[in-house]
Every structure is written in structure tokens, then in C-alpha cells.
Structure 1
Amino acid sequence: MMSKQICVPDIGEDAVDVIEVLVSEGESISVDQSLLTLESEKASMDVPAEAAGTITKLLVKVGDQVRTGDVIAEIDEAGSNAKENKPAQDAADKPAAKSASGGQSHDLVIPDIGEDAVDVIEINVSVGDQVEAEQGLITLESEKASMDVPAPQAGEIIELSVKVGDKVSSGDVIGKIKGAASADAQAQAPAKQSTKPTQSESTQQAQPAPSKPETPQPAQAKAQKVDEQAFSKAHASPSVRRFARELGADLGAIKGSGRKGRIVEQDVKDFIKQALAGGGAKVAQGSGIPAIPAVDFAKFGEVEEQKLSRINVLTGEAMTRCWLNIPHVTQHDLADITDLEAFRKALKSEAEKKGVRVTMLAFLMKALAKALQELPRFNASLSPDKQSLIMKKYIHLGIAVDTPNGLVVPVVRDVDKKGIYELSEDLMAMSKKARDGKLSPSDMQGASMTISSLGGIGGTYFTPIVNAPEVAILGVSRSTMQPVWNGKEFEPRLMLPLSLSYDHRVIDGALAARMTVLLGQLLSDMKRSLL
């Protein structure tokens, strides 16, 4: 029997949820067949089989979280009697499993963070601390976001080799953790156990049963600062920690409703609602926004409730964060694309021979790439302390794509180095991947700026929301024939509406006007973008 392990590919995230298992043990599978579906904050994706064979062991279930490189299944490539040999194999594996969990030390390694190097901005534990699996150990901050590095297992921190201000990269070792012995090992070696209760046992003995949440005392209710020690030890994922920090919620005061007491995003929302209703919860100053009162619509007539897709919910939350944190201004303009549209149509037969369809969006991308080179402030992001700009030397463009599950924004890379046919090919591939739900998180990271095109649907102008940490977004509506004065007479010209929203902390009105004028010039005379 030739056994092969199936691992999670590079998903560009610390940990993502398993939302669906598509196969079962004993099932025969083919190469590239989807085994399970993962879902992150940005998209859902399938994990394909790397080889054909028979599933002999499934190591994950719905609700688990997995990371890049985790083993999720084992297959028998020869398809032989794997089930008959399974008990013997399990028996052979058990002693090794016990010894592996018997208090050995393991390196604490930075997971795939999708960056060359990021800053350590916070150390949440110290040597000697007892931590739980997935508890945040250190907090990293890149130009895109802050993130926690979770503990890979429960145990004791026996070594830490980083400090605030250090830079770390994927794969760096930041310390060591000594795992607790397994339950079987403890049962077999009672003589080695201390008569003193462990830290967790003594904590459980000292605390009353959590039947009701404690009512905060007046002094607690007035406290506005988050308890950082309790925050760091709370059982929550990095994304939930980031969400709580943005809202000013104290994770240490929230009771988790998730698996094994994990704090989920809904717990944070409920906590904030309680605080706004006067429940005494601890929330940082300035974070409270009055909630919209609930309405019983059924009393007005028949209603039907339809669940939002996860992408809808996450996109809504992200847009709310961007809208609340960025002072938006939108600049509107028109671009004459009469000659460009004629040129695009002339390329149709040649494009068909190359197997691509050239759309106006490819020319927009090329024009915007040239404009970013001439006005580099648009290709920047604010530093975490908001005191400087991070200027980007690359030009990657996010393209908003409407899918059955909601809006996603895949990124086309190195737009300035590609021609129209190559960009058209990239757009076709990315759009198909988005509609099929095959985008990975890394496919949606690193954009310099985003284009949101509604030209295929209609409309004149709109006010797109900046996709932080980008500082601008270009909205495009449907082009129409309009009378334009040429100095002697009105003539019909095809005019394209542009809507440029920008972060007023970085871009002022004069620079925004220069951008829309420059885009108009580039689109009316596409040769300029090739110079």
C-alpha cells in the first residue's frame, strides 16, 4: 500500500475554518477532486486532491481550523485494502503519539504571513506563562493589518527570543513551548504527578461556577481602558482580536459562545450592544455608535428572512470599518473614449485568435497604471502610526468582481509590465476563478488601488468606498454618447463617467482633480500610456 498525505496548500492565512467535508473514508477520489471547503474572512476555497486513490483517513471535520501545511487526509494511491490494515496501523501509531505529546518542547514558528518582514508591536506572554492552544503570543503589524501569532498548542512558554520593535518573517523561530503531557501519559505515571494542584486547577477551584456573568462594580463600569493581560489571554482568533480592538471591546470581559469557549465575532457584537444599552460592559471611549433599533416587520405584512452569504457579511463589515475610519471625498469627471472604443473593436478579430476578449477594463487598468507612476501618492498607504506614507514601487490593481455569493476583489499583479492581451487574459482567468469560488486569500492581497466597474450594468456616477489600506478607488459607470463642443460645433462623443473616491488624509482635492484629468487624457489618447 502506497500511503500519501494530503496537506493544506498555501492559503496565505494564519488559520481558516473548515466549512464542508466533501469526501469520506473509503471513498475513491481522482486528481484535483475537491476534498473539503475552507472559508476565511475574504473568500471560500476548495482543497483539491494531489493524487488519485482511496481515502484511508480523514483528519479534519467541519468546524476545525487549519493552516498552510496541515495534514488533512491520507490516501492509498494504489487503492488497496487500506481498511483491513487500518487497525494494525492505528495500533502501531498509538505509542508514538503518546510519547510525542508527553511534555516535549516545540519551536514557536511564525506562520505564513504573506510579507517579507513585519514589525513586532506587542508581546502578550512571558517566559513561564501557561497558554492555551491558539492564544495570541505576539502581535505583528504590516502595512495591511495587525495580526496575532497564536500558540500551536497548550503548554508552558519556556523561551522567547523576540522583543517589541523586532522584525520577523515567515518561518522565523520566536521561542519554545513545552506541551503538557497527554491524559494517557498522566494516568500511566501517577507517581510523577505533583500533589499540588496545577495552575489551571487552582484557578478553577478559586473561581465560582460561571452560571451568570458577574455584574460589574461601578468602578469597573467606569473603566475605559482595556485590560491588556486579559485581552491577550482571551480565547479568540486574530481576526476577532483585531475586530475587538477596532471597536474598543475588552476581550477579557467577554464570554465565548464558540467551540471550547472560543470568542467569536458575534460575541463581540453582542458585548458592544450590551454596552450601548447601558449594560456596564467595558468599551474604549469614542467607539460607541448608537445601534439601529430592531423593527418587527411582520406586523406590517408578510415577510421572509433570507440569510446573507458569509462573503456578504464580511464585505459589509469591512466596508463599515473603511467608511468609519477614512474621511472620504469623491471626485467625478468624464473621459472621452470615442477613439479608444473604435480601437478596441478593431482588435476583436486578432484577440479572438489569441483566445482572449479585450474589454474596456483592460485599457482602464493600463491607463491607471500609467497614472499611478506619474502621481505616486495614490500608490501609497498610511503607516500604522499615521505619521508617514509607505510608497509602493509595484503596481498591482484590485478588480471588484460581482459573484453569486457577493463582491470579491482579486488582484492583478504588475499591471505596468503587461500588455493589453496579457491583461485581458488575466482578467478572464481571475473572473472565472472568482465566480467558481476558487480564489485564495493571496489572490486578494497587495493591491495598489482598486477599480470598481459598473459599466456593464448601468448608472452614471456613484461614490465607491476606499478599500483600506489603499488610499483611493476608481469607480467607472456606463459610457454614453453625448454632444461635445469642439470649438465650432457639437459632435457626438462617447463619454465614460469616472468616480474617484480618496482618503482625504493622504490625497487633497487638487491632486484628485489632477488624477481624473490625467486619466481622461490617457484614455482619449492611449498612446500616452505606452510612452
Structure 2
Amino acid sequence: MAAARVLRSWSRSARHLSCVNHIQICRSIHAVKPKYTCLFGYSSFQFSHPHRLLRTTSTVSGQIVQFKLSDIGEGITEVIVKEWYVKEGDTVSQFDSICEVQSDKASVTITSRYDGIIRKLYYALEDTAFVGKPLVDIETESLKGVDRTTDRTKLVNKDSEEDVVETPAVFHDEHTHQEIKGHKTLATPAVRRLAMENNIKLSEVVGTGKDGRILKEDILNYLAKQTGAILPPSPKSEIITPLPKSEKIQTIPKDKPIPLPVSKPKVFTDKDRTEPITGFERAMVKTMTMAMKIPHFGYCDEVDLTELVKLREQLKPLALARGIKLSYMPFFLKAASLGLLQFPILNASVDENCQNITYKASHNIGVAMDTSQGLIVPNVKNVQLCSVFEIATELNRLQKLGATNQLGTADITGGTFTLSNIGSIGGTYAKPVILPPEVAIGAFGAIKVLPRFNEKGKLIKTQIMNVSWSADHRIIDGATMSRFSNLWKSYLENPASMLLDLK
């Protein structure tokens, strides 16, 4: 705590007012003793000590802060820098994007915690950055016009309307520490993203969590108070009327050829090249190495999707009117979730030594996606609580993020059961590999029009899809896998039966 002693001596002349201030600031460690002598009407006298005019204000130069790569979670210790959104000399604000990094599980956009100027980038593109090490240097913005009324003296000259304001110097380290401390807030990346999307400064939000942590509810409550806005209703509460027959969705005529992309010819080189295994490919190496320790039990069957195909054709325009593309996967996921309620052993996990089984309460069903960066398996959270339309909405979101390599860590972690639609690319049967610590996985082939006999022995046209299951044979026997598959199959062959079990 600084102690200030101000000694004033006054002298008046016919037309001039002089003020001599001696300010001594004493601290336990540092002592700063600037002396100011200012004369109105005369030039400032030259003293052996620093001096300034009373009309000037104190400014504090910014401090260089090392912005370190924080813990991304899931045990990730290093990432690859894929893209820089800033360069040295750029000005950034809190929540501005700094760079995009890629771990062996997801791509993550790193945002700034401070307002300031980028002074140094520690890594080049494709370099490996380590958690806890500096990522960039940011010169934090200086505070201007520091208002300390206890240290301010205002003098008014009767012959002049000018104010005489005196602001003592502020110790640099102390001021910078207060500035940085003032900007420090506790909030998860998801909460920070929500605040950024709604242009909310976290410093203005009162956190109700532990140690003042800002929660999602705090952001929503603050937004409601500021704007008086009502949060949009969930998709299940929306009522969308069917489209009139006169307003049919325009489709591409079947006889009109669809232009195919022209692929560039490959350039042949006679040299071998070696590349490091990084990113998602490294994650696949690690996961598949663990998976091969699991004794897989395979089971295959075919499913008649004729009724489901008809139902989807009826619901597609309704979903499209809500802005959602409706595929078969939401039905597959919902049917699987209903089956997992009857066979919870398939929605479980085992420890490394297979000594304990953990039955998962949530059905976080993963969906394998083929992207430009390789195989990614994001998952739809809490499928047991979602409607078919809500599942479709979430799948649309995950597919858009996957196509642009923007899936977050939360999107691809926490899965409890996995489905792979390999048939969208081609093929009929597959041998899916379990993703540890899960214990089961399913893969679907392409839907094909095939002849089959009905109950009356009449040959009919049907929509057939083959499914291939793999289960951890250490804890799941063949009978359990077969019964689950039969139940899942019955829901899809008779979609109306799902209504009896939907919640």
C-alpha cells in the first residue's frame, strides 16, 4: 500500500499562478519519487528530477504476457499447429481466434484471453505445440486515464477556465497485475463460445458456480435480462404444418444427367516418400492397436427396410421444411437405443484388465464419418432422450462440422456404442472393429432392391440392407447379440412399433 505525502507551496504574482508539488510514493520494495513543477504562463523549469505539465495524464505501457496452450482434455499433451489466424503485430480482443490446432482426436480453435497486440508466434505451421508451453506473446493493452480521486488535485484559475489535473505515476508491475487479474474468469470453452456468439463479455457476468465459475445458465440469464429475449423452443415443441400439394419441393428430373466432378490426373513420380503419422491417423493407430486385443464375435443379418423407406419418403418434406435433411441414420440410432434399454450390456465398458463392467446410463451413439482428414467417430449424446427429428438435427450439425474439420473434443469423446454406415460408400457386409472401451459396434451395407417371398409365398420387391455386428466376446455371448439384433431389426421392419416404446 503506497503512502503519499504531498507538500504544496504557493506563490502568486500579478498574472501567474505557480504550483509546486512534491510527491513521494513509498513502497516496501520500490520507491518512486517523481517531482513535478508546473507554471502557467512560463515554460517548465528544468530540474534534475523528472517533471511534466499538469495538463498531461498518466498512461501505462502494456505488459508482454505469454499465452500458454491450456489443457485440452482427454489426456492430450501435444497438438499440431494447422493454421494461424493472426500474425505478429495484429491486434486481438478477448475470444478472437488465435490459431487452429489438431490433436489425435479433434481439431480445436484456440481463442485469446486478453486484449492486446501479438508480439511473437512460437510455432510455425505443422509444428508440434505442447500443452503448458507458450503459444504466443501478447502485449496487453494499457489502461488510459487512470482515475484515482484520492491522488487527484484540481486547481482552477480565476482568470482561466482551464482545469489543472495532477495524476501521479502508477507503478508498472502493480497496474499490469491488476489489469490481468481483472480479466481472469473461470469458464469452460463451451461457455466462452456461447458468450462469444452472443457478444457478451464474461467480465460483466456474475458466475454462480464454484469459486465464481461462470456457467451456461449464467450466460443465458444475463442474455435474457439484457435483451428481454425468450429462448427459442426446442424442435419437439415446434408445430410445422404439412406443405400444400401445390407447393411441392423441387427435385432434379431423373432424366437430367448429373454433372460429375472432373478429377485431376495423378502425376507419377519415381521416388518414394516417407511421412510421419500424425493427427487422426495416429489416433487410429493407437485405437486399433488396443482393439486388436479384444476377441471379436461377429454376427450378420439382413433387414427388410421396405416400410421404413416409405415412412422416410413421407417425412422428408416435413423435415426439409424445418431445414433438416432426414436420412435413415436417425431411425437406426433410435432403434438401437430402444434395443440398448433391453440389453444394457451392449452399452457398457470394461477396464483395461477386464475386471469390472461399467453400465453406461447415457446412450451416446457414435457415427463413423469419412472426412478429408480420415475416419472420425463423433457421437450423438443421450439418444435415449431424443426424438427422431432431434437425432437428425444433431447428425446434420455433426456432418457439417466434420466436412469442415471443425469437430470439437466434446463431439468425438464419451461414446458408448457405435454404428457405421459403410454402405453409403459401397459394399454389403463388413467386419467392424470395436472402439475401446466400448464393447459392441454395428456396420450397415448399402440398401438394395431385391426379390423376396412374402408370407403368402408371393414374390415381391423389397428394400434389403445387411447389417454386421461385432461384440466383445469376453462379456457378450452370441445369444445376447442375436436377440439385440432381432429386436433392432423388428423396430426397423415395422417402424410404427417404435411408437409403443418412444418416450
**Quick one: distance in 1 between partners of 2:64 and 2:461?**
66
Q: Which residue pairs with 2:308 in the alignment?
A: 340
Is 1:499 matched up with 2:468? Answer: yes
Is 1:19 matched up with 2:83? Answer: no
Q: Which residue pairs with 1:65 in the alignment?
A: 130
Could you tell me whether the CA contact under 8 Å between 2:80 and 2:103 is conserved in 1?
no
Could you tell me whether the CA contact under 8 Å between 1:474 and 1:498 is conserved in 2?
yes
Q: Secondary structure at the match of 1:45?
A: strand
Q: Which residue pairs with 1:462 in the alignment?
A: 430
1:16–1:441 CA distance, 2 compared to 1 (3 A): farther
Q: How does 1:178-197 map to 2 (within 5 A)?
A: none
Could you tell me whether the CA contact under 8 Å between 2:69 and 2:130 is conserved in 1?
no
1:338–1:53 CA distance, 2 compared to 1 (3 A): farther
Q: Which residue pairs with 1:371 in the alignment?
A: 339
Q: Deviations over 1:375-433 (max 9, x none)?
A: 11101112344233211111111111111011011121001111122111111111222
Q: Which residue pairs with 2:492 in the alignment?
A: 523
**Normalized against structure 2, the TM-score is what?**
0.56
1:9–1:462 CA distance, 2 compared to 1 (3 A): same
**Quick one: distance in 2 between partners of 1:347 and 1:360?**
11
Q: Secondary structure at the match of 1:432?
A: helix
**Quick one: distance in 1 between partners of 2:495 and 2:392?**
16
Q: Which residue pairs with 1:389 in the alignment?
A: 357
Is 1:351 matched up with 2:319? Answer: yes
Could you tell me whether the CA contact under 8 Å between 1:335 and 1:519 is conserved in 2?
no
Q: Deviations over 1:323-381 (max 9, x none)?
A: 1x100121111111111111111112211121110100111110111010011110111
Among the aligned pairs, what percent are the same residue?
Answer: 28
1:521–1:9 CA distance, 2 compared to 1 (3 A): farther
Q: Which residue pairs with 2:401 in the alignment?
A: 433
**Quick one: distance in 2 between partners of 1:397 and 1:370?**
12
Offset of 1:482 from its aligned partner? 1.4
Q: Deviations over 1:166-188 (max 9, x none)?
A: xxxx99xxxxxxxxxxxxxxxxx
Could you tell me whether the CA contact under 8 Å between 2:129 and 2:135 is conserved in 1?
no
**Quick one: distance in 2 between partners of 1:29 and 1:392?**
43
Q: Which residue pairs with 1:511 in the alignment?
A: 480
Q: How does 1:127-138 map to 2 (within 5 A)?
A: none
Q: Which residue pairs with 2:258 in the alignment?
A: none
Q: Secondary structure at the match of 2:419?
A: strand
Q: Secondary structure at the match of 1:402?
A: strand
Offset of 1:4 from its aligned partner? 11
1:79–1:309 CA distance, 2 compared to 1 (3 A): farther
**Normalized against structure 1, the TM-score is what?**
0.54
**Quick one: distance in 1 between partners of 2:300 and 2:335?**
17
Which of 309, 314, 331 aligns to 2:283? It is 314
Structure 1 unpaired stretches of 5+: 81-88, 97-111, 113-169, 172-300
Q: Secondary structure at the match of 2:402?
A: helix
Offset of 1:529 from its aligned partner? 2.8
**Quick one: distance in 1 between partners of 2:171 and 2:441?**
55
**Quick one: distance in 1 between partners of 2:143 and 2:464?**
62
Could you tell me whether the CA contact under 8 Å between 2:71 and 2:131 is conserved in 1?
no
Runs of 4 or more consecutive aligned structure 1 residues displaced over 6 Å after TM superposition: 1-7, 77-80
Q: Which residue pairs with 2:106 in the alignment?
A: 43
Q: Which residue pairs with 1:326 in the alignment?
A: 294
1:41–1:310 CA distance, 2 compared to 1 (3 A): closer
Q: Secondary structure at the match of 2:332?
A: helix
Which of 347, 362, 382 aligns to 2:330? It is 362
1:429–1:77 CA distance, 2 compared to 1 (3 A): farther
Aligned residue identity for 2:380: V
**Quick one: distance in 1 between partners of 2:370 and 2:96?**
26
**Aligned-pair Cα RMSD in Å:** 3.7
